[in-house]
Amino acid sequence: MPDADAGEKGGRAARAAALPALRAAIDRVIPADAWPAGWEGGVGDYLTRDPISADRDLLWAWPELIGLAARLDDEARRAGAADFAALDTVAQDAMLARISTGSSAEAFDALRRVSWEGYYASSDGRHPAGLDMVGFRGVPEGVTPIEPEPLKTVASKAVQSHYDAVIVGSGPGGGVAAQVLTAAGKRVLLVERAPYLRAAEVRGDHLHGKRNAVYWPTVGPGPGHPRVAQLPEGDRVVDGTGDASLYGLNADTVGGGTRIWQGMAWRFMPEDFRMASLYGTPEGASIADWPVSYDDLEPYYTKAEWALGVAGEEGGLTSRTPRSAGYPMPAMGTEPSRELLGAAADRLGWGWGPIPLAINSVPWEGRAACVRCAQCIGNTCPVDAKNGSQSTFIPRAIATGLCDLLPDAEVIEVRDGERSSGVTIMADASTDPVELTVSADVVVVSAGAVETARLLLASGLGNDHVGRHLHDHRFTTVLGHSADPVKPYVGPGHSVATLDHVHAATIPWGGGVIVDLMGLLPLTSAGEPAPGVPGWGSGHKEWMRHGRANLFGVFGMGQEIPMPTSRVTLADVRDRWGRPGAALRKDVHWASQQVEDELAVQGTRWLDAAGITQVRRQGGPATASAAGEHSCGTARMGTSAENSATDPFGRVWGTRRVVACDSSLHPTNGSVNPTLTIVANAFRVAEHLVAEWPR
């Protein structure tokens, strides 16, 4: 491959020529003190990985960095020096300050970004000096990470031609369906489009974890899965290889998002099931009541908490959600932020309590208790204490001998029929693809709000409601300065909450929950320092070492008002199989913005009561994301085909044997994390499916 060799040699030469200037500049962005300067502290290793042809992360940065290095050397020579590295540090700082606000500002921003990534982020087995400097330890000292026993999978050549059920997607909805159907004696094929990854491959990477992904998320989906984000400024094609915030935050892995979540396991409020009745439907919105009530779902909530494994506490956060049983595990232990905000809530007269988490607070079902690692969200658990579909529902289904788990396989078409349904699968998708045709009594589509809608639309199934009403939650962050550090690098993340502004007079349209802000990864803090902190240099490094620990805040999450114009449709771009990708349009209703704004007001009150100073709302009003990790509504349940995409038990209107079983069923999404509701509703849907099995 002479052309490739020549390209690599040329690229290597250009990079090598730029390194002296870049090293000098990086060492001014992160200067030496008691801790190493940037280059020796990790940025050098980050930038000089070999071979360069494999360094796909930084392909975007090198043209900017090479151009910046050339300009620095040119200006230094005009000033009489041999090159930029030959200048004294005062002159280097002055030149960088000029460039940072001039025509090369974007190149300087690229330099800062790669400096932060190299010094403050763990990835590819690197542990740079910045992590030790700020006291970050991903896995607590003395804890040896384990590798759980891998789930038994089926080879593509061993897939049967017919199953009682084919389940598309292995997240919480699909996992529950697999457990329920196999327990009833049904033979199930559980299809997951992502390859099977070991836990070690999905842990400790601050650049590729889904929640904080900067490059090529470890939990996919990877190239060949394009989407079109329909933005106010125009359409933009995005693939699953970069920043997850625009593409969509749902994880592609066995277990779906529950493999890498923090595990907030809330029940919706009774009022959440009758939003239209309580608040009406303003112009432009599509608020709807659920076809079931809280009382209908309550037994399934209890079943979900015990089948999943939730650690919680009855009290201030459960008084408005009647319960038929307590939590299976005690709440996670306290931490300084809980004590501080709990006392402030008492002064305000607010109810509060520890957040219910689907994480083992004590050893549970043969797996260890949480070790409070500092990187829970977006990573697999080092001791397998995180409860998700991959550690609960799917293993139980496989243990029956009736569930074939087929990873690295994508369902590209679903068929419905009077006597049988079926799917077309591209198996061994990342290696040597083979097409499989499988028939089934029923197909359960549990691929998430975006992919469930895309698959149904691409298969020609359902009515005009399929894909519509795409919504998530509204989010706001309020930050300030704490006199003493109250959020150390201790997991699992969010710890304390108040529900006093959910369906209350303080916030309209159902309001939302307010929680303490999780501990931020060092890389996040480096890129978003407090106001007044220098953007680089010794002042920034000093703030990272000391001032960062006093950054503290709260996070509000509230109702997002669904709109029929917010939707998933089929795009012109094609995926790796030649099928249409998803086009995502997300509009923001004015009522949603009201929820977000008032969450910020109440969050500020809480921080003020806690003695936090310099309180500010981060970033101002948020804009719509194309598809968040809580996306729902695209196959909403309802009482008729006139008002919904599916019947009250997930059967797609107009079909006999196709059932949706995930967040796409939610007509509205409550004001808390929806996963426990996905699980509870999946139990309800799957049990009804068993009772009313199509013949």
d(CA 466, CA 646) in angstroms, rounded, equals: 9
pLDDT of residue 2: 39
pLDDT of residue 245: 75
The predicted model gives 207-227 an average pLDDT of: 85
Which of 401-415, 487-501, 563-577, 617-631 bottoms out in mean pLDDT, i.e. has the lowest?
A: 617-631
pLDDT-derived band at 506 (thresholds 50, 70, 90) equals very high
* Residue 140 half-sphere exposure toward CB, CA atoms < 13 A: 14
d(CA 422, CA 442) in angstroms, rounded, equals: 7
Q: Output DSSP code: residue 470.
A: -
Which tens digit of pLDDT belongs to each residue from 528-582? 999 999 999 999 999 999 999 999 999 999 999 999 999 999 999 999 999 999 9
For 648-653, the CB contacts below 8 A with 24+ separation are: 648/291, 648/292, 649/684, 649/685, 649/688, 649/689, 649/692, 650/685, 650/689, 652/416, 652/445, 652/456, 652/461, 652/462, 652/466, 653/462, 653/463, 653/465
Q: Which amino acid is at 472?
A: D
Helix or strand or coil: residue 257? helix
The predicted model gives 598-627 an average pLDDT of: 85
Q: In b/e form, how buried is each residue of 294-318, taking b as 16+ CB within 10 angstroms?
A: beebbebbbbbbebbbbbbbeebbb
pLDDT of residue 629: 83
pLDDT-derived band at 248 (thresholds 50, 70, 90) equals confident
Answer whether residue 242 shows pLDDT above 80. Answer: no
Which of 8-12, 472-476, 580-584, 663-667 bottoms out in mean pLDDT, i.e. has the lowest?
A: 8-12
The predicted model gives 65-74 an average pLDDT of: 97
Residue labelled with tokens 């933009």: 236
The predicted model gives 131-145 an average pLDDT of: 94
Answer whether residue 211 shows pLDDT above 80. Answer: no
The predicted model gives 229-242 an average pLDDT of: 89
The predicted model gives 193-222 an average pLDDT of: 88
Average pLDDT of every residue of the chain = 94
What is the Cα gyration radius of the chain? 26
pLDDT of residue 178: 99
pLDDT of residue 9: 53
Q: Are 392 and 309 in contact (CB under 8 A)?
A: yes
Q: What is the pTM of this model?
A: 0.96
pLDDT-derived band at 54 (thresholds 50, 70, 90) equals low
Which tens digit of pLDDT belongs to each residue from 680-693? 999 999 999 999 99
pLDDT above 70: percentage of residues in the chain = 96
Cα–Cα–Cα angle for 417, 418, 420, rounded to 5 degrees:
55
The pair of structure tokens assigned to 455 is: 């698959």
* Residue 695 half-sphere exposure toward CB, CA atoms < 13 A: 2
Residue labelled with tokens 């409601």: 465
* Residue 685 half-sphere exposure toward CB, CA atoms < 13 A: 36
d(CA 686, CA 650) in angstroms, rounded, equals: 9
Which tens digit of pLDDT belongs to each residue from 618-641? 875 444 456 778 999 999 999 999
Answer whether residue 184 shows pLDDT above 90. Answer: yes
Q: Output DSSP code: residue 681.
A: H
pLDDT above 90: percentage of residues in the chain = 88
How many helices and strands, by DSSP H and E, does the chain display?
Answer: 17, 20
Answer whether residue 270 shows pLDDT above 60. Answer: yes
State the virtual CA torsion across 121, 125, 130, 136 in degrees, nearest 10: 80
Q: Are 383 and 368 in contact (CB under 8 A)?
A: yes
d(CA 126, CA 205) in angstroms, rounded, equals: 9
pLDDT of residue 102: 87
The predicted model gives 29-51 an average pLDDT of: 93
Neighbours of 529 (CB within 10 A): 18
pLDDT-derived band at 666 (thresholds 50, 70, 90) equals very high
